Structure 1
Amino acid sequence: MESQQAAPTGAPASTWCGELELTGAPAVTGVRPYGGQPRARVLVRLHGDPVGYVDVPAAGAGPDAAEVARAGRERHAPPIAAHLEAEGVRWAPGDEVPAPAAGCPGLVASDTEVTVVVCTRDRGQALAGCLERLAALTHPHLELLVVDNAPSDDGTRRVVEAFAARDPRFRHVVEPRPGLSRARNRGLTEARGAVIAYTDDDVAVDPGWVQGLLRGFARRPDVGCVTGLVATAGVDSTEEAYFDARAASWSTRCEPELYDLAGSARDDVLYPYSAGVFGTGANFAFDTAVLRDLGGFDEALGAGAPTRGGEDLDVFVRVLRAGHALAYEPAALVWHHHRADHAALLRQLYGYGTGLTAYLTKCLLQPDVRRDLVRRIPGGVRHAVEIRRRTGERLGEDVPPPRGALASEVRGYLTGPALYLRARRASARSRASA
């Protein structure tokens, strides 16, 4: 389920993705090296804040920074002007962009202790790249916790110990029971920080990621969860193009937003159960005490459980129903490497399907939620059809949907309820024997 946010359309099957800071950055940079792609999608940033994307031609050494800056100032003049006005600076689209002033929101410091948790299983090579980016985080009060989930060897431990030898912020713990929610709950048990942030081992975090998350918590005193922008790291295959088109609700939005159940009226007929609008588990953080009060993640949901997903959707709604607010903060930026081959994409889409209907089954099993949700089912069906239509529009005519994508997701929808009931029984037996 996703938001109505517009996304870049007509993306070809090979698009280089990068970013440019408007205040004089000499080049466009990306988490993947430029490889001769004919087009580039560039995230334009102002004093670190994402303001929007521009699509430009690319050749030679990559997209021209001056052209990207010109296009960015022209296309995203309103958010640029609003950002600078908040700093007390008047600006017109033809002007150069000044350096940050004293009132720049990105310069706000915090002494909050933050625990960053990465859950991983037998992916030492991918993990090393993730940890390199975590080591470059600039927030001064950090604990970096790697949860080694049901490992088959000591590869992950050796990778983490190598990082810990030069950076004592890193810590390695083992969760012997397989499952992402179990691993995340182990991280919650171990966390020392007042805020706990989660990301995945296929994600590259921005150096200012944690400061962005903390800005989300500072927006209102009742914020219990913050999600952030998960930008596409690259589009080098039809499969990546399709996933990119599907992920627009959390990969393109550059405006902060607050959600709650008290005063935030939403046009979405499924709100708040259309939980994909809030963000994704690749980039979210919680007030540690709030998450502990909620009991952590539902271990019958998530990767590694039969349901394969849905744990992030579930916890978002539980945060809201407990009376807390949720903040979407684009300054909390990470870059995501999408599924690049056909089989991996189909498995991911199947897991999206099972996770969604497993989470909805959990909602239907709660009498107070069931009454509210059942009346929204017709609108939900229309919403699902609309998602597919908008995904096709974003892909454009040049990139056909991968064969079997819809069928895999529909199979997931159909099997998710039974998988949740099975996982729920298994989780209860596991707790009883513990």
Structure 2
Amino acid sequence: MSGPVDLTIAICTYDRPELLARTLRSCLAQRNALGLRFEVVVVDNHPSGSAAAVVAQLATETAVPVRYVTETTRNMSVLRNRGFSEAAAPLVALIDDDEVADPAWTDELVGALRRTGADVAVGPRLAVFAEAPPPYDPAGTGFMRDLRLPDGADIPLLDARGKPQHGLGTGNSLFDMARCFPDGAPAMRPEFGDAGGEDFEMFVRLHRSGRRIVWASRAVVTETVLPHRTSTAYRLIRTQREAQHYVTIYLDVAPHPGRVWLSLMAKGLLQLAVGLVLATATWEFGSTRRIAGRQLMAHGLGKLLWRRPVGYIAEPPARLPSGSAS
């Protein structure tokens, strides 16, 4: 493939070579009915360069340009900003290294942007479990992102009071770079990159600056959920961290942050108290089938402890169990 590219697919990865191989193959197997010239850029965040061999092998099997770069700074904003800055195309699609894109993924994302004239498109993320869904969520709905909006609908990131809603991540998203970042400034703020929430903060900032963010309902990716991510302890610490993100971002955009802070702290205390009563009344502590009360407590703790960010959550090496779902 020669000449300028229309689309860059950027993948940030950290020590997930098996999962990354699936992600890459799905990107390289796009139907591409729109006839886009595209490239793939893999940004490796692991000091060992664990993604290098996977990228090198798959690059020999395709005519699509595949580039490998390293960025070992342990900050998600810096990492994703590197993916944006490496892009040679005016459109940049982001997909996570544990996601697999449907064959029409790029057609649907780009098509949604073209049909609506929007600046950003975001699509659904389904889930497939490497072993089984957890007993507390047998349908796995808590591991998916489906806003259930019409195709091409604007995503309302803030309500009338400026309260964040519809939390978004960059996995399965497409950006018109010239419209979203016209001054060439970094897309994500590094101060959010250690504690998390950097991607949603960026979406809220783009929304407040007048950028249109639309829902591409047919641009589907599927995330592989590894067993440790379904454990009760992991879900509770993730819930607490997400509540911290919510408080930080809400205060960052609120016209009256003092009032908002008071209301959030009051809500956090109430959630903690009600969650404790619920968890105690239903004998939830120690259960693998009930989590609602403890999740409500985690929401409350996240609000109350928002100045003590959870940050990165330690995870085991991402290796697929033998015979896991593809």
Q: TM-score, normalised by structure 1?
A: 0.57
Picking from 41, 56, 65, the partner of 1:161 is 56
Match of residue 282 from structure 1 = 171
| Length, aligned pairs only | 287
Match of residue 123 from structure 2 = 228
SS at structure 1 position matched to 2:19 = helix
The structure-2 alpha-carbon separation of the partners of 1:375 and 1:113, relative to structure 1 and needing over 3 Å to count, comes to: farther
Give runs of aligned pairs for residues 322-333 of structure 1, distance below 5 A. 322-333=209-220
Counterparts of 1:361 and 1:403, CA distance in 2: 23
* Structure with bigger gyration radius: 1
The structure-2 alpha-carbon separation of the partners of 1:123 and 1:402, relative to structure 1 and needing over 3 Å to count, comes to: farther
Counterparts of 2:257 and 2:18, CA distance in 1: 44
Match of residue 19 from structure 2 = 126
Offset of 1:380 from its aligned partner?
A: 7.5
Match of residue 354 from structure 1 = 241
Using the aligned pairs only, state the percent identity.
22
The structure-2 alpha-carbon separation of the partners of 1:285 and 1:239, relative to structure 1 and needing over 3 Å to count, comes to: farther
Counterparts of 1:370 and 1:183, CA distance in 2: 30
Deviations 1:40-91 (A, max 9, x none): xxxxxxxxxxxxxxxxxxxxxxxxxxxxxxxxxxxxxxxxxxxxxxxxxxxx
Offset of 1:159 from its aligned partner?
A: 1.0
Offset of 1:215 from its aligned partner?
A: 2.1
Q: Residue type matched to 2:24 in 1?
A: L
Counterparts of 2:258 and 2:40, CA distance in 1: 42
User: Can you give the 5+ residue segments of structure 1 that lack an aligned partner in the other structure?
Assistant: 1-110, 389-397, 424-434
Return 162-171 or 348-357, whichever deviates more.
348-357
Picking from 167, 170, 173, the partner of 2:66 is 170
User: Can you give the 5+ residue segments of structure 2 that lack an aligned partner in the other structure?
Assistant: 276-287, 313-326
Picking from 77, 86, 99, the partner of 1:203 is 99
Offset of 1:126 from its aligned partner?
A: 1.7
Offset of 1:352 from its aligned partner?
A: 4.0
Match of residue 21 from structure 1 = none
**2:134, 2:140 within 8 Å by CA — same for their partners in 1?**
no
Match of residue 7 from structure 2 = 114
User: What is the CA RMSD across the aligned residues, in angstroms?
Assistant: 3.8
Offset of 1:342 from its aligned partner?
A: 6.2
Match of residue 400 from structure 1 = 290
Q: Residue type matched to 2:48 in 1?
A: D
Match of residue 225 from structure 2 = 338
Return 359-368 or 195-204, whichever deviates more.
359-368
Offset of 1:112 from its aligned partner?
A: 7.5
Counterparts of 1:237 and 1:260, CA distance in 2: 30
Give runs of aligned pairs for residues 43-192 of structure 1, distance below 5 A. 113-139=6-32, 140-149=36-45, 151-167=46-62, 168-192=64-88
Larger relative strand fraction = 1
Offset of 1:138 from its aligned partner?
A: 2.4
Picking from 400, 416, 423, the partner of 2:306 is 416
